[in-house]
């Protein structure tokens, strides 16, 4: 099959939708972000990328801490709204019940099943982008989404967490069916 060249398009998909929280001038603010990923398990690292002019960015620059909150699809309209309006104009903290991360005071969203309290380790500036690489200090999970299996606590699967997913076609999606298990599906190729 031949390939079509679309130019310089960063077409990684799907994109996780998260709400990044920071304290800006003493007030909690949240912005919808898709530029977010795990960067490692041990040490527990994540990254987010923001525009330098975002209201949230100045808060992270000031506090060197932020939160990543993972909304479920029932929060879709509020999450999208956090991407439409700026905290410079609107107090977005009133959209949610806010609690503080215990180690940094970063504002976190009670209604999100999962929230990560993060401390900035590195900042990369590329043109107007600010890429923050951060250590996860604590992972807060709503008890409804924690299961105990063989005496160990673990997070529920994605069908229950019901995340908001995005793509560069500007559409939101929900998660589909489970289709396999990591490090097991490829075993059939071992002797190929």
Indicate the Cα dihedral angle 6, 11, 13, 15, nearest 10°. Answer: -130
CB of residue 69 vs its own copies: minimum separation in angstroms? 11
Give the range of 21-29, 56-64, 77-85 binding its own copies by CB under 8 A.
Answer: 77-85
Residue 168 is classified by DSSP as T
Structural tokens at position 13: 């998909």
User: Could you tell me whether strands 152-155 and 15-16 are parallel, antiparallel, or unpaired per DSSP bridges?
Assistant: unpaired
Instruction: Select 23 or 47, whichever has its Cβ closest to its own copies.
Output: 47
Query: What distances in angstroms separate CA 163 from CA 19, 42, 74, 170, 184, one per listed residue?
Result: 12, 24, 9, 16, 24
137 contacts its own copies (rule: CB under 8 A): yes
Q: Which is nearer to its own copies, 151 or 187 (CB)?
A: 187
Smallest separation (angstroms) from its own copies to the CB of 23: 19
| Residue 146 touches its own copies, criterion: CB under 8 A | yes
Q: Which of residues 92-121 bind its own copies (CB under 8 A)?
A: 95, 99, 110, 114-116, 121
Q: Rule CB under 8 A: is residue 35 a binding residue for its own copies?
A: yes
């Amino acid at each position: 099959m031949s390939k079509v060249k679309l130019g310089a398009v960063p077409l990684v998909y799907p994109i996780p939708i998260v709400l990044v929280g920071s304290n800006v001038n003493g007030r909690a603010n949240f912005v919808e972000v898709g530029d977010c990923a795990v960067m490692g398990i041990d040490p527990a690292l994540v990254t987010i990328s923001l525009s330098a002019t975002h209201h949230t960015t100045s808060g992270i620059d000031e506090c060197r801490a932020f939160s990543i909150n993972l909304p479920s699809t029932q929060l879709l309209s509020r999450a999208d709204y956090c991407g439409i309006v700026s905290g410079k104009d609107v107090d977005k903290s009133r959209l949610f019940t806010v609690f503080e991360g215990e180690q940094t005071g970063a504002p976190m969203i009670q209604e999100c099943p999962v929230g990560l309290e993060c401390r900035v380790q590195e900042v990369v500036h590329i043109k107007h982008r600010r890429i923050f690489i951060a250590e996860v200090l604590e992972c807060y999970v709503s008890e409804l989404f924690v299961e105990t299996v063989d005496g160990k606590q673990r997070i529920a699967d994605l069908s229950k967490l019901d995340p908001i997913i995005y793509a560069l076609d500007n559409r939101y999606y929900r998660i589909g069916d489970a289709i396999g298990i990591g490090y097991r599906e490829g075993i059939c190729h071992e002797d190929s």
